[in-house]
Amino acid sequence: MAVRPLGVEIELTVPAAVRRREGAGTTLWRFIRKKPLGAIGGFLILVMAVAAVFAELLQTHDPIATDAAHTLAPPAADHWLGSDHLGRDIYSRIVHGARVSLIVGISSTILGSVLGGIIGLLSGYVGGKTDLSVQRLLDILQGLPLLVLALVMSASLGPSIQNVIIAISIPIIPRAARVIRSSVLSIREMQYVEAARALGIRHLRIAFRHILPNTIGPFIVLMTAQLGSAILVEATLSFLGLGVPEPYPSWGRMLSVSAAEYAQKAPWLVLFPGIAISLAVFGSNLLGDALRDTLDPRLRGG
């Protein structure tokens, strides 16, 4: 558009950002085009979520019903992915296992990230000596390998779904706290925060209402990446017999002792649950990477 005041020609260009408000569909389409790998990751997670929600509709057999007449059946029309040593249908168990994996994965990720996020927010906002001592405390929690810490915790708490969720969430806390703290440190110095402080707004309100919403980008990236690792830890704990207890079908436990025993005779016992775990973790890693590139440009390129 050209405006002509006093004979001077001024080009008025509208900044790209305000030109139009994109619908969710357009944003999604752009994401798929620019980040095909991320879109594949998102699709894998979506498939897993659908399986988790509609497990009863998708199953072909009762996942916990044993069938002595059809043990170790190879993949065929009746048992799509074969059956295990007790005659249970592998496909139906994998579909139901998605529910267990997703419930444990999402709950522990949210629990750990929210607790860690609050710690990181307050520690970063307050700063000084408090921040320093919180950092040292987090060092202590982060010093142990994630799996070892989860292993000891779930052994100490005893096997139940709630305890597995707690055991997996604790190692996430220091990681989440670090990420949120580092973004709080830069946001804290911004002018609008200074303005809020000058207006006499209480510190807690500044931290939670003014700073917290701006850490949402790194927070989403963190949660996506942690989801994959939480699913992996759950599978490992269950594989070792310290995770989700019977009768819930869990991908990790499907791979435990019995599968190894019958692996030569019935390789499908080992292959399919492992592929399910790998695809779920792969999906959340791919999505996490793409989201990181999109939402958190500082970390681009990893």
Q: Which residues bind another protein (CB under 8 A)?
A: 37, 136-137, 139-141, 143-148, 151-153, 155-158, 228, 232, 235-236, 239-242, 252, 255, 259-260, 263-264, 267, 270-271, 274, 277-279, 281-282, 285-286, 289, 301-302
For the bound state, the minimum distance from the C-beta of residue 198 to another protein, rounded and expressed in Å, comes to 30
| Minimum distance from residue 119 beta carbon to another protein (Å) | 15
**Quick one: 78 or 139, whose CB is closer to another protein?**
139
**Cα–Cα distances in angstroms (integers) from residue 293 to residues 64, 226, 289, 298, in the given order:** 42, 16, 6, 8
Q: State in angstroms the smallest separation of the CB of 58 from another protein.
A: 23
**Residue 21 or 300 with smaller CB distance to another protein:** 300
Report d(CA 236, CA 47) in Å as an integer.
Answer: 22
Comparing CB distances to another protein, the nearer of 74 and 145 is 145
Of 162 and 278, which has the nearer Cβ to another protein?
278
Using alpha carbons only, give the angle 26, 32, 36 rounded to the nearest 5 degrees.
Answer: 170
Smallest gap from residue 159 Cβ to another protein (A): 11
Q: How far is the CB of 82 from another protein (least distance, A)?
A: 14
Which segments of the chain does DSSP mark as H helices, in order? 16-19, 24-34, 36-53, 55-58, 90-126, 128-142, 146-157, 161-188, 191-198, 203-205, 216-239, 251-254, 257-262, 268-295
Q: Residues 6 or more apart from 255 whose CB is under 8 A from it?
A: 235, 239, 270, 273, 274
